[in-house]
Amino acid sequence: MMPALELRGLCKRFGGLTATDQVNLSIPPGALHALIGPNGAGKTTLINQVTGELRHDAGTIFLGGVDVGGLPPWRRVQHGLARTFQIAQLLPDETARDNVALAVQARQGHSFHFFADARKNSDTNAQALQLLQEVGLADRATARVADLAQGERKQLELAAALAIRPSLLLLDEPMAGLSAVESQAMVELLRRLKGRITMVLVEHDTEAVFALADRISVLVYGRVVACGTGDEIRADPVVRTAYLGEGDEEC
């Protein structure tokens, strides 16, 4: 079966610094693959190369078997790639519903219409409401972004990402900035999505990672030093050293 995402020999250098060092990754469809590593390991840099915001220096990026390496970010989105950001990127002047509705509109490809009322399109509004329901924000549909809590913003971003019906969803630290309760809710949400959408999860919250991930890749100084199931990773001495320093320490 064609992997949903495949990276071969991906490299990125910033002057003298190698941020991504020969990264190989293969994720089957429907899996949830986590990417963990200490700060500065280059996780977000890797994500940015996959989305296309950052131009990779070497290697190939296959999305569902298609080489997307030369495509601009918006084009990759049209190939089924979605992402959420570490700091939720939303449209501040719009309501929650309109944020999602615009994503629906973009997916439907009717954005060069000049004479309809975008915010009164019953079809996009219905789809938007359905997505908000799915992430648990149905009652906040008419709220302005400024009035949403951190957790709600992340939920909203997720709804917008789902609106484009992605085949691959990249989640850049979805738990960042969330309270314990909000994190629980987010974990549940992601668990519900498992199997339906292929996901790559970049996270520091190890509890969430081990609870959700099918496989985990550990990134240190831009290299993948370990790749395996949760149990394998927990037992791997290389990983323990990377995270905990020299010597055995109970965490």
Residues 42-71 that bind other proteins (CB under 8 A): 51
* 129 contributes a contact to other proteins by CB under 8 A: no
Query: Site size for other proteins, by CB under 8 A?
Result: 45
Q: Does 112 bind other proteins (CB under 8 A)?
A: yes
Using CB under 8 A as the binding rule, whether residue 162 contacts other proteins is answered as no
**Residue 14 dihedral angles phi and psi, to the nearest 5°:** -115, 95
Q: Which of 84, 89, 42, 63 is nearest to 224 (CA)?
A: 42
What's the min distance (Å) between Cβ of 160 and other proteins? 7
Nearer to other proteins, 51 or 217 (CB): 51
Q: What gap in Å lies between CA 78 and CA 42, rounded to an integer?
A: 25
Span 85-104, contacts to other proteins by CB under 8 A: 85, 89-95, 98, 102-103
What's the CA angle centered on 50, arms 72 and 82, to 5 degrees?
Answer: 80
**Which residue of 9, 55, 67, 75 would you call a contact of other proteins, by CB under 8 A?**
75
Return the residue of 144, 191, 192, 196 that touches other proteins, per CB under 8 A.
144
Q: Which of 106, 176, 189, 225 binds other proteins (CB under 8 A)?
A: 106
**Is residue 153 near other proteins by the rule CB under 8 A?**
no
116: contact with other proteins by CB under 8 A: yes
Of the candidate spans 5-13, 141-149, 203-211, 226-234, the one that interacts with other proteins by CB under 8 A turns out to be 141-149
Task: Answer yes or no whether residue 181 interacts with other proteins by CB under 8 A.
Answer: no
Region of residue 40 (left: phi > 0; alpha: psi -120 to 50; beta: else): left
**Is position 224 an interface residue for other proteins (rule: CB under 8 A)?**
no
Contact (CB, 8 A) for 37 and 219: yes
Decide: is 176 part of the binding site for other proteins (CB under 8 A). no
Binding site for other proteins (CB under 8 A): 51, 72-75, 77-78, 82-83, 85, 89-95, 98, 102-103, 105-107, 110-119, 121, 139-144, 147, 160-161, 163-164
